[in-house]
Structure 1
Amino acid sequence: MAPLQALSSVLLLLLVAQHAHTAREAAHDYDFCVKTLGADPASAMADELGLVVIAVRIARATVKATGDRIAQLQAAETSPRRRMVLEECAKDYALTVRRLGRAVRDFAAGGDEGRLTEAATLLEQVRGTPARCDKAFVFWVGERTPLTDADHELNDVTVLALKILQHCLNNGAK
């Protein structure tokens, strides 16, 4: 029962935390939270920290898939500028995979406040990875990014994990 209460508390937290957003945006956040975390059967029995781990693992899978997609684009690319930008994007996504892996290890090692704060820092560093790639394409190539909406979902999942983690830190959950 407690894990279901944790999921309900997180969902309520996300809705309340969005007081500056419109009702439509809050409903989108709620739907995204339910869809994302609900995709993992373990979420039904997870406590708040478990929900953070699930969100981080989903973010890591998203990053790995985008990294694979970038590698495919690199293999087919003939423009030197586009190839250069894809290389920079690939490096950034590889670093993002490592950061998310470290965050998961921090959670697995225990929920002390120092490790949770370090994990939050890693998640903050991950935010913006798709935007950095987008900006590089515009700046160096003068074109829109080849990244898709699915690639950009990384930010939404990362923000979700950060909001739940912040709730854990504010309530002393370990």
Structure 2
Amino acid sequence: MIFHCVRSANNIVQDTCKKFVADDGRLNFDFCVKSLGSDSKSHEMDLDGLGLIAVKLLDANYTGTIEYIKQLQKQISEPRLLKALSLCLRVYNFLDIKELIPVYKAKRHADAGMLVSAVLTNEETCDTQVSRTKGMVPPLTKHNADIYQLSGIALKIVAILRERAKGM
């Protein structure tokens, strides 16, 4: 009995990621495990704690991508790519993601879900715009992919927590 409890606690990250990948084949299991497991205490957390890890990582990646776009704009001279990067920067800057962590911590799951959905929409808009610059290697592919994955993970967690809160 004790072994089972310890085993369950140690596997929460992997079990959660398996469920998410089974529900949405676009999510990457290894990315999910690495992300949610990035906090040394993640294996002791419940789903709410894993969600906090996800939204913190999403916030950091989103903010980092904005800074990366600004750096690229200084280095790139190709007009079509500059135009695409400018659109991405406008799209990313439009959303005030600084509210995500406080909203999540306040257990305002519907609001957190809307913010994460907006992040996902921004990523898709930017990714589409930059990938249209034919003949060039899209410079935001990795950043956009990470934001997509983190958004998907956070959305899954928020949706589960929202459903649990309704059932109480």
Q: Give the TM interval when normalised to the shorter protein.
A: 0.7 to 0.9
- SS of corresponding position for 1:171: helix
Cα distance in 2, alignment partners of residues 121 and 47 from structure 1: 22
* One-letter identity of the residue aligned with 1:70: I
Q: Which residue number corresponds to residue 12 of structure 1? A: 15
Q: Note the alpha carbon deviations across 1:120-170, whole angstroms, 9 max, x for none.
A: 11111111433322322344x434422132441111111111112222122
Q: Which residue number corresponds to residue 131 of structure 1? A: 124
Percent identity for Structure 1 against Structure 2: 25
User: What RMSD over aligned residues (CA atoms) do the two structures have, in Å?
Assistant: 3.2
Q: Is the 8 A contact 1:127 1:155 kept in 2?
A: yes
Q: Which residue number corresponds to residue 162 of structure 1? A: 155
Q: How does 1:1-174 map to 2 (within 5 A)?
A: 8-9=11-12, 11-16=14-19, 18-19=21-22, 28-29=28-29, 31-96=30-95, 98-99=96-97, 101-108=98-105, 110-111=106-107, 115-139=108-132, 141-144=133-136, 145-172=138-165
TM norm structure 2: 0.77
* One-letter identity of the residue aligned with 2:46: D
Q: Is the 8 A contact 1:62 1:151 kept in 2?
A: no
CA 1:49/1:21 → structure 2, altered by over 3 Å: closer, same or farther?
A: closer
* One-letter identity of the residue aligned with 1:47: D
Cα distance in 2, alignment partners of residues 33 and 146 from structure 1: 23
Cα distance in 2, alignment partners of residues 119 and 161 from structure 1: 9
* One-letter identity of the residue aligned with 1:58: L
Q: Note the alpha carbon deviations across 1:74-115, whole angstroms, 9 max, x for none.
A: 01222333222211111222234x23x22211122x22xxx2
Aligned length: 163
Structure 2, unpaired ranges of 5+? none
TM norm structure 1: 0.74
Q: Is the 8 A contact 2:13 2:37 kept in 1?
A: no
* One-letter identity of the residue aligned with 1:37: L
